Amino acid sequence: MSRIASVDVRDVRFPTSLELDGSDAVNVDPDYSASYVTVTTSDGETGYGLVFTCGRGNEIICAAMESYGALLTGRETDALLDDLGAASRLLIHDSQLRWLGPEKGVQQMACGGVLNALWDLKARRAGKPLWLLLAEMSPEELVAAVDFTHLRNALTEDEALDVLRRGAAGKAERIAELEANGYTAYTTTPGWLGYSDDKLVRLSREAVSDGFGMIKLKVGGDLEEDRHRMRLAREAVGPDIRIGIDANQRWEVGEAIEWVGALAEFEPYWIEEPTSTDDILGHADIRRGVAPVKVATGEAVANRIVFKQLLQAGAIDVMQIDSTRVAGTNENIANVLLAAKFGVPVCPHAGGVGLCELVQHFSFFDYAAVSGSMEDRAIEFVDHLHEHFTDPVRIERGRYLAPSRPGIGAEMHAASVDAWEFPGGSGWAEVGERAAVTGRSSS
Amino acid sequence: MSRIASVDVRDVRFPTSLELDGSDAVNVDPDYSASYVTVTTSDGETGYGLVFTCGRGNEIICAAMESYGALLTGRETDALLDDLGAASRLLIHDSQLRWLGPEKGVQQMACGGVLNALWDLKARRAGKPLWLLLAEMSPEELVAAVDFTHLRNALTEDEALDVLRRGAAGKAERIAELEANGYTAYTTTPGWLGYSDDKLVRLSREAVSDGFGMIKLKVGGDLEEDRHRMRLAREAVGPDIRIGIDANQRWEVGEAIEWVGALAEFEPYWIEEPTSTDDILGHADIRRGVAPVKVATGEAVANRIVFKQLLQAGAIDVMQIDSTRVAGTNENIANVLLAAKFGVPVCPHAGGVGLCELVQHFSFFDYAAVSGSMEDRAIEFVDHLHEHFTDPVRIERGRYLAPSRPGIGAEMHAASVDAWEFPGGSGWAEVGERAAVTGRSSS
């Protein structure tokens, strides 16, 4: 009988801070990193998961993954994979570990990474990419995978079944359409704060010629600078391309309303993370204050309970799920169901390390089997670090092509993991002294 | 010049699950534990902090404390202690570590433990217990210690100064009163779910004869059992003693309203943690649904931003700050100021390991220098594990006596730390096979 033989965790970091890729008003010098987990069965099967971080602290997620992994080791593989809802409850509601969240931050992320390695294993066994596995699960199976604890005053199991049964109509046609044409993307590649004007303009124009209908700019450092960059970007892309702006939680509530107002002449499509993503009531105030600019958030939303309230409070126009912030595929199914119930589009957050590879599956699943709509929906795309993955995203004419290989997309090349394992990998040796930016003794 | 020479972290656990002390509807088998941190300067001074956990996962807080500790090592001691607001921002807003929260869960707790060790050092240098150090700081110094980020739509620096200036009137008299008479306590000692009827009744009566005016019962396991235990407790203590009930986040929103309604005939004073503490809107609904029973929460509230919203939404009658959930003394000053601004009493959560020793300081500070009131306020007391502390709480006639020794109260006896360090301490060797309940391979 197959059992979980090991849960192996590696600390993988890339020295992206050297290039200011990924810089914004809050994340000024990220070293894009992954806490990388491999679940191996006694039969030698493997499933892969990861959690994205910004460098320092990757070791903490790794420690938490080891603690959750220990709860799985020795268990029967079939029993786990046949009921991933139970597997999720086993980890999330562990009577002692639960105190450290509950259901937030390091714990939720680490749980999600480990659970996703199980989903990867399940999808590989089925020979399907995750999105297709999910799309072909029955409404009952999907509902059984979700933890409805603390959701039921907004979404009950029965309501979720209704959503999924409605979503089943036309599913086969939509799956065929996705396999033929993929899913809309938007790109953040031009918009990092650390880029020069020339680079901003050049990358913005390239985005349009590459077929993207929307780009995104980081804002929130300096208002005059933001006005300058926003004008350059608008001139570069013309009036018909959407420009999202993203403040990475930089502002107070009133400040957000004023700042967005001062950028309104350049017609931003949405303001993303205007303030703390814990601030549900603040987002509701901001949404009222910046309309018709839309409010988007989610990459730092801790769990389904916070998303529930953002929807109940009418605080967001766009739900930006993230593939490694919450407790894995299970909780993102919950998030997609919540969005469908409230009629809010899901536009996933991506970028970082592996986030594009993972999160695309939820939009494909959403279109195939839940909302059935691609209107006002797009998956973020950033052209970073895909070369390290065995099944990298494929983008054509501003669209994600449908993932076709079995699994969730988290597997990295062994050579990449070896080279960029921190701190001992050969890549870090080459980076040499400049690697000090990530060291624990850094200030 | 004095510098931070080391930040040493130890994983200390007590096998409390063997006795079902501390058992409730969610925390069914806690091994009360502490991630214990010692900051040592190049001059040999020491400051102590800790984070309470329930056993498994203590190692994760330890890992996070080491990561934050590394940011302090080598820094000038005086510069840190002279501006603990800056020290808090240095840790909390670290550009890479921030991603792992932001400001919640493992990261916020670990940050708080390390920051509290600095506050301990500062209080020891001043020769004062923390509460008196805080009470004697100027309004400007206190405001400088607080991070107002994402608070300012509810509490600005100027409003906080106003609160503190009003609180300064009569401060000397209130300090003298606290030193003479202490502060009201309530006790949870009788109320754990794992206790027999006889033990519940006996401990409830003892609580009254010991001078407590309020006891607390855990609920949420089984309604008929709760009605039975609530009836026994009410009969044991009589009509004039308050009985708080505590569901430890067990319920959905509607379920909470129904369950509390079914206990109403026994006149519970408050319902604590009726649902997820992330659910601000849910608490607001519950408060409307269970009045005149009060709603209390806080031991798992992740940060000041969530407390802000609980107050803005009129979702709580009682704020239960916890000494090791948030980012240390700095963030608890913010919480106490928020409560004062909104006119809500602070009744701290305590118990666990060292929580009584630490949290009492905030109520003494609140009375001396902020709210100036003890009305409807009490500090939780649980009679567990105080013997391991060098300055244990002193309770007389249902009141906490004023802490008088310098520091924050987190220092443990070296022999206790050595005996109960996990997994290698001599205490764990004695517990022997039963220690398996805490082991990583536990299910």
pLDDT tens per residue, range B310-368? 999 999 999 999 999 999 999 999 999 999 999 999 999 999 999 999 999 999 999 99
Residue A191 has pLDDT above 90, yes or no: no
Contact B56 A96 (CB under 8 A): yes
Q: In terms of Cα–Cα distance, which of B434, B250, B242 is closest to B347?
A: B242
pLDDT single digits (tens) B13-52: 999 888 766 667 667 789 999 999 999 999 999 999 999 9
Residue A20 has pLDDT above 70, yes or no: no
Could you tell me the two tokens for A342? Answer: 């409230």
Query: Which of 3.50.40.10, 3.30.390.10, 3.30.470.20, 3.40.50.720 is the CATH number of B4-145+414-438?
Result: 3.30.390.10
CB atoms inside a 10 Å sphere around CB A138: 12
Q: In terms of Cα–Cα distance, which of B259, B309, B262 is closest to B284?
A: B309
| Sheet architecture: strand order including A33-41 | A4-13, A33-41, A46-53
Average pLDDT over residues A426-434: 80
Ramachandran assignment for A398, one of left (phi > 0), alpha (psi -120 to 50 degrees), beta (any other)? left
pLDDT band at residue A430 under the 50/70/90 scheme? confident
The minimal CB distance from B282 to the residues A94, A108, A153 is found for: A153
Q: Kindly list the residues from chain A whose CB atom is less than 8 angstroms away from the CB atom of residue B278.
A: 103-104, 150, 302-303, 305-306, 309
The minimal CB distance from A441 to the residues B73, B90, B306 is found for: B73
Least confident segment among A142-156, A338-352, A423-437, B234-248: A423-437
Share of chain A above pLDDT 90, in %: 92
Query: Which residues of chain A are in CATH 3.20.20.120 domains?
Result: 171-400
Q: In terms of Cα–Cα distance, which of B363, B407, B409 is closest to B174?
A: B363
The CA distances from residue A258 to A23, A231, A263, A286, B257, in Å, are 23, 18, 9, 10, 40
How distant is the Cα of A252 from the closest Cα of chain B, in angstroms?
5
Name the DSSP letter for residue B402.
P
Which chain B residue is nearest to residue A108, measuring alpha carbons?
B105
Interface test with A, best of B54, B100, B316, B442 (most A CBs within 10 A): B100
How distant is the Cα of B346 from the closest Cα of chain A, in angstroms?
22
The minimal CB distance from A59 to the residues B28, B67, B302 is found for: B67
Q: Helix, strand, coil: what percent of chain A each, to 5?
A: 45, 15, 35
pLDDT single digits (tens) B140-175: 999 999 999 999 999 999 999 999 999 999 999 999
Name the DSSP letter for residue B389.
B
| Distance between CA atoms of residues A377 and A362, nearest Å | 12
Residue B415 has pLDDT above 80, yes or no: yes
User: What's the pLDDT score for residue B440?
Assistant: 38
pLDDT band at residue A22 under the 50/70/90 scheme? low
Could you tell me the two tokens for A336? Answer: 């997609």
Query: Which residues of chain A are in CATH 3.30.390.10 domains?
Result: 4-127+414-437
Residues A296-318 as b or e (16 or more Cβ within 10 Å = b): bbbbbbbbbbbbbbbbbbebbbb
How distant is the Cα of B183 from the closest Cα of chain A, in angstroms?
28
pLDDT single digits (tens) A236-267: 999 999 999 999 999 999 999 999 999 999 99
Helix (H) or strand (E) holding A200: helix A197-209
User: What's the pLDDT score for residue B22?
Assistant: 64
pLDDT band at residue A433 under the 50/70/90 scheme? low
- The CATH class that applies to domain A4-127+414-437 reads alpha beta
Contact A101 B105 (CB under 8 A): yes
Residues 6+ apart with CB under 8 A from A103: A92, A302, A303, A305, A327, B276, B278
pLDDT single digits (tens) B183-231: 999 999 898 888 899 999 999 999 999 999 999 999 999 999 999 999 9
pLDDT band at residue B441 under the 50/70/90 scheme? very low
Residue contacts between A and B (CB atoms, under 8 Å): 212
Told to judge if B349 belongs to the known catalytic residues of this protein, a careful annotator would answer yes
CB B33 within 8 A of CB B13: yes
Average pLDDT over residues A407-426: 97
CB A2 within 8 A of CB A76: yes
Average pLDDT over residues B270-282: 98
The burial class, CB within 10 Å (0-12 / 13-18 / 19+), for A93 is middle
| Distance between CA atoms of residues A256 and A239, nearest Å | 24
pLDDT band at residue A431 under the 50/70/90 scheme? confident
Active site residues of A: 218, 349
Asked if ipTM goes beyond 0.85, one says: yes
Q: In terms of Cα–Cα distance, which of B174, B274, B176 is closest to B218?
A: B274
pLDDT single digits (tens) A274-303: 999 999 999 999 999 999 999 999 999 999
User: What's the pLDDT score for residue B2?
Assistant: 98
CB A57 within 8 A of CB A34: no
Residue A234 has pLDDT above 90, yes or no: yes
| Distance between CA atoms of residues B44 and B93, nearest Å | 29
How distant is the Cα of A89 from the closest Cα of chain B, in angstroms?
12
User: What's the pLDDT score for residue B20?
Assistant: 62
Which chain B residue is nearest to residue A59, measuring alpha carbons?
B63
Residues 6+ apart with CB under 8 A from B126: B133, B406
CA B278, B280, B284, B287 torsion-angle sign: positive
Residues 6+ apart with CB under 8 A from A93: none
pLDDT band at residue A442 under the 50/70/90 scheme? very low
Structural Rg of chain B based on CA atoms: 21
pLDDT single digits (tens) B400-414: 999 999 999 999 999
Interface test with A, best of B68, B96, B342 (most A CBs within 10 A): B96
* Paired strand residues for A416: none
Rounded to the nearest integer, the mean pLDDT of chain A is 95
User: What's the pLDDT score for residue A443?
Assistant: 32
Average pLDDT over residues A422-440: 73
Sort strands A46-53 and A33-41 into parallel, antiparallel or unpaired. antiparallel
Contact B150 A275 (CB under 8 A): yes
User: What's the pLDDT score for residue A126?
Assistant: 98
C-alpha angle with apex B377: B151 to B373, nearest 5 degrees? 80
Give helix A105-126 / helix B105-126 axis angle, nearest 10°: 160
| Distance between CA atoms of residues B142 and B139, nearest Å | 5
Q: In terms of Cα–Cα distance, which of A443, A318, A439 is closest to A11?
A: A439
Average pLDDT over residues B375-385: 96
Rounded to the nearest integer, the mean pLDDT of chain B is 95
Query: Which residues of chain B are in CATH 3.30.390.10 domains?
Result: 4-145+414-438
Annotated catalytic residue, options B122, B128, B218, B388:
B218
User: What's the pLDDT score for residue A264?
Assistant: 97
User: What's the pLDDT score for residue B246?
Assistant: 97
Average pLDDT over residues B255-259: 98
How distant is the Cα of A134 from the closest Cα of chain B, in angstroms?
27
Average pLDDT over residues A70-81: 98
Contact A107 B108 (CB under 8 A): no
The minimal CB distance from A150 to the residues B102, B106, B275 is found for: B275
Give helix A280-290 / helix A253-263 axis angle, nearest 10°: 30
| Distance between CA atoms of residues B409 and B46, nearest Å | 13
Is domain A171-400 given the CATH code 3.20.20.120 in the classification?
A: yes
Which chain B residue is nearest to residue A299, measuring alpha carbons?
B99
Which chain B residue is nearest to residue A352, measuring alpha carbons?
B99
State chain B's maximal CA–CA distance in angstroms: 64
